[in-house]
Structure 1
Amino acid sequence: MTPAARVQTAIELLDQILAGAPAEKTLTGWARKSRFAGSKDRAAVRDHVYDALRRRQSAARIGGALTGRGILLGLLMQDGADADALFSGPPYAPEPLSDLEKEMMSSSADVAPLEDIPEWMLPMLQDTLGDEIDENVEQMRQRAPVFLRVNLQKTTVELAVLQLKEEGVLAEPHPLSDTALHVTEGARRVSNTETFRNGYVELQDVSSQAAIQSLSLKTGMRVLDFCAGGGGKVLAMAGRCEATYVAHDANVARMKDLPLRGKRAGAAIQIKSLEEVEKAARFDLVFCDVPCSGSGTWRRTPDAKWRFQKEDLEALTALQAEILRTASRFVETGGILAYATCSLFPPENSDQIAAFLAQNPDWHCVSERQWRLDEGADGFYLAKLART
């Protein structure tokens, strides 16, 4: 595919997404049907689409329309590309630029980062980010870095760096976590390396790794990951310390790959239903990475930012409160209840903890931490609670 053909394809896919189709499903469907597109073509089209969604509003304003064409044109203008050359006309390129579009190209493409956030969310982000809001929102408009977690049960950070380098992947340690590697070159090769296939490293954001590092895991503990999902957090715990690990999720299908991932990592993870958890002995640590807005990760899933509505937040905070109440029953005396989200919104984080403590005076907050994008991480929140 030519560069112009990639732009035309991205325009068509964006129009489908703007009409309501999920971005990832749209991209995957196109890739499966388009056998003529090589891996570099698929990657370029994906980058165009996701960059456009990250900067949707500012790009649409600059490009003159909230359409696939308008957004891509505005995006290219922001990035200083030669839009006139790319919009060169059929059969494979977008229609040539109109006189009005050419006139817009001569105007300023300056952007205020906050225009790429839905307006109703801004007060919540201001509460969390304060004076750093512009810098953090600017990070949301960019592609996310790729991080790996080193499995300390199988290797060391130093050895993992050398192993990856031999396979064409360059990575360096990150200061937020002692297991984290920031991939600086060859990110798309990671899943095909023997280092990854043998369970020496896993893909995981550095803020999640930092949160797990702060849990004070000890050998022999009984640990429950109550909202396990794909199992990334419980595998991170198992990569640090030998203990009894139990995983539960209300949606069992989310855990379908966990046995294979656990085998690759050399970790024994027990998967239990809610009934089995209720019958089991209490746990020294109950970790709840609850369903949330995902606002701290929206540069990775940018279409979610535009789909998320106030009523979604209300439903989520009610669910989070219910999970927190339920999970607290499974904590052993002297144990820790860890509540986590990948959100930057106070109603899902500090407000949720304050409400729980107000209703449960026999509990107190041991510590809480909000990771931000300007720290080089995704947005992530963790509160550790214990009975008074």
Structure 2
Amino acid sequence: MSKLISLLLLLYICSVVSGCDENTLALQVGTNQIIDTKIPRGDSQVTIPFLIPEGINESALSYAVHSAHSELTIELLDPDEKLIASSLSEEGWFMPAKHLSPNNPENTWGFKKIVNPTSGMWSVRFTRSTEAPKGAIPLQLSMGLVPKYSAFIKPYNTRVQVGQPILVEMRLSAHGKTEPIEGHQIDVFNEYDEKVDELRVSNRLTRADNVRINSTGSSYLAIYTPETIGTMTLKAALPVSIDNQPAVKEVRNSLEVVAPILKVTGVTFMRSSEKSKTVGIHLRVNVVVNEPIWLVARATLAVDGKNITTSRNKETAAGEAATFTFDISDIPEELLNTHAVRLVQLDFTDFNVEQSAVLLQSIPIEKEITDTPFTIRF
């Protein structure tokens, strides 16, 4: 709805609602307003009127109160003067100042959101209790109309390297409750607005070793592995419903992709040629960095329906060609003789103790390990 139509609606409502003047507080969707007021000395009450316009698209009224004095009652009244919420009922909660920051002497009252409130003149009424001091009681009222839907796309890193897999989270909420978006698409565009990739979010994302990645039931994740440098924009159009009509909630975010510091030149793997209980996997990794890093290489194998992971680490200098050798000895010989062993995936991590570890590259292999050496060159 255009600003002009909204203004006309406000003027119309003001023309039919008594007490509406140029000083009337008119709420707008997506904005929050702070009102400083007080119960004057000698008065028992003060009332703050405010206008909720038409066409708020199922937004919710959100409000809270702050005051250094706790001896008062707060009530929300609709256009018919009906009591909708009170600080004395279950619709409200109270947080004493002593439970908040020591530097904040104010108490806080919070209330449940009022979903899709009726348009018209509402009011918040403050009443001094009999135990309250006789002087003025300063108050601060924070209120606004919160849109029905909120959504975001969030890459877990905003600066990544070519070939570096990162997690991307997307979430859609209706009045604070997470909406299911399993399988929804995220499109990736380069700086020329050309589509270069597409992702699908899932609430059941797993690693190569089948460990679930999603930390909560409300998180929807995808893995994005950029292939070229530049600024990449992630976009999604989420179908929603407003006033029983279909609509679209658009979200976007961006990240910067830079040249990789890690290059994997080749992987060689085979079963041991002698009768033993080990499988040898040989990796050669060339690392090109501006400064030395501590590199961790992890191999994931699959045998008899189970995944086995093992890792090696090495401090590498700039430009060094590092070799990682894996000798996995915990696969019994009888199992090797009766089951195929697959090299599932290789992961390479920059383990910086001053920061969190950064996954530099994941390479899916999905090749069976045999007695014949097999080499993959990149």
Could you tell me the TM-score, scaled by structure 2's length? 0.22
**Structure number with higher helix proportion:** 1
Larger Rg: 2
**Structure number with higher strand proportion:** 2
Could you tell me the TM-score, scaled by structure 1's length? 0.22
